[in-house]
A and B are shown apart, each in its own frame.
Chain A
Amino acid sequence: MFNLVTRAQAVANQALTSSIIISAVIVLITLVQLYSDKVWDLNTTTISHVKPTASVKYSFNYGSINRKPKENSKVQFDLDADLTPLFNWNTKQVFVYLTAEYPGKSEGSSNKVTYWDKIITSKEDAKLHLSNQRSKYSVWDVEKSFRGREANLKLEWNIQPYIGPLIFGETNSTTSFNFAEIETKKKAEPKEPKEPKEPKEPKE
């Protein structure tokens, strides 16, 4: 009656049910804690002194197709944020990212790009004081240029847990700026300038 297989099965069943219950409890407690910390209502963030710059690139790695000129945008900014409430006992890491949202050409179209992001793995590092921070990415649009449009900067976050659902949110402050435009309107030189360094291949 009680052979090896039935015993093993009973143990496995018990282990499975218990671990499901424990994980559910952990997830529930985490969510309750995040709600009570009001993490979806963080208003300790300021983004200021946004200085956009523009340049023209001719490399595929900077959005250029067939070596046609493509406008790239970068920004410098000051950022103050306190993300410590996002850390609780089920937070493995917080991913913060600075996004810019701006309208597209046709109706109902919109764009959102990331200028800067950071992985934060401990509560001690969750207070951000950045001044004159340069954007991590050189950003290009689907169009040839940003045409000096207005964009809205926002700091958003994502909690990655030890177990359970990924949790997303954004801080309350927004700052707007206009994309910089290329000043000299002269035609692109026929000779293609060499990009100084090609970025290395990403891993899968």
Chain B
Amino acid sequence: MNIRQQLVQFLSLAYVFTSAFILWKTLSVVTNSHSPIVVVLSGSMEPAFQRGDILFLWNRDHQAKVGDIVVYEIQGKSIPIVHRVLREHHNSEKQLLLTKGDNNAVDDLGLYAKKQSYLNQKTDLVGSVKGYLPKLGYVTILISENIYFKFGLLGLMCLSTLLTNE
């Protein structure tokens, strides 16, 4: 239980966090997306995507195609939305998209900002979905939405650090 040992432990913890951060940011640069991996939060794309599924995004496509599943953000709303491209209209400069959730009855006009009738491919998209991993993202939903799980996990981590310090 000397100070040196504790410092080493602190360093290794810092190492874990920084390497995770570096990995995330590298992925961000490679995919050109500010969040290259997202967790599905809603059921509007069921049965394909359910709550807690993990999606891998790519944002280097020049244009989106009809049928692509894209993740977009609306200004003033914090939650990114995963929906399918229903229509696209493009000229040499820009591309306009209309999206819809497979499980929804109507298109997304009601989700967009007021008076907004299309998404802009360049500015509104976070990326288009390329890969799929089921269920594993549910952990993050549990952590962010279930207070018992969050503190239980924290408690477990504290306990394990105490146990290693024997």
Instruction: Enumerate A138-167 residues with CB–CB distance to B below 8 Å.
Output: 139, 141-142, 156, 158, 160-166
Interface string of A189-203 (1 = CB under 8 A from B): 000000000011111
CB of A63 closer than 8 Å to a CB of B:
yes
Secondary structure dominating the interface of B? loop
What is the size category of the interface that chain A forms with chain B? 35 or more
Q: Contacts A107-B92, A142-B96 given: A112-B42 contact, CB under 8 Å?
A: no
The residue in B92, B132, B164 that gathers the most chain A C-beta atoms within 10 A of its C-beta is: B132
**Interfacial residues of chain B within 60-117, with CB under 8 A of chain A in the complex:** 65-69, 79, 81, 84, 86-92, 96, 100-111, 115, 117
Contact with A along B16-44 (1 / 0, CB 8 A): 00000000000000000000000001111
Q: Are A95 and B48 in contact (CB under 8 A)?
A: yes
Given A156-B67, A202-B104, A203-B42, A60 and B109 contact (CB-CB distance below 8 Å): yes
A residues neighboring B (CB under 8 Å): 3-5, 8, 23, 60-61, 63, 65, 92-93, 95, 97, 99, 104, 106-114, 117, 119, 121, 137, 139, 141-142, 156, 158, 160-166, 168, 199-204
A-B contact pairs, 17 of them (CB 8 A): A3-B164, A4-B160, A8-B160, A23-B133, A61-B109, A92-B47, A119-B48, A158-B67, A163-B133, A163-B134, A164-B131, A164-B132, A166-B69, A166-B132, A201-B111, A204-B81, A204-B111
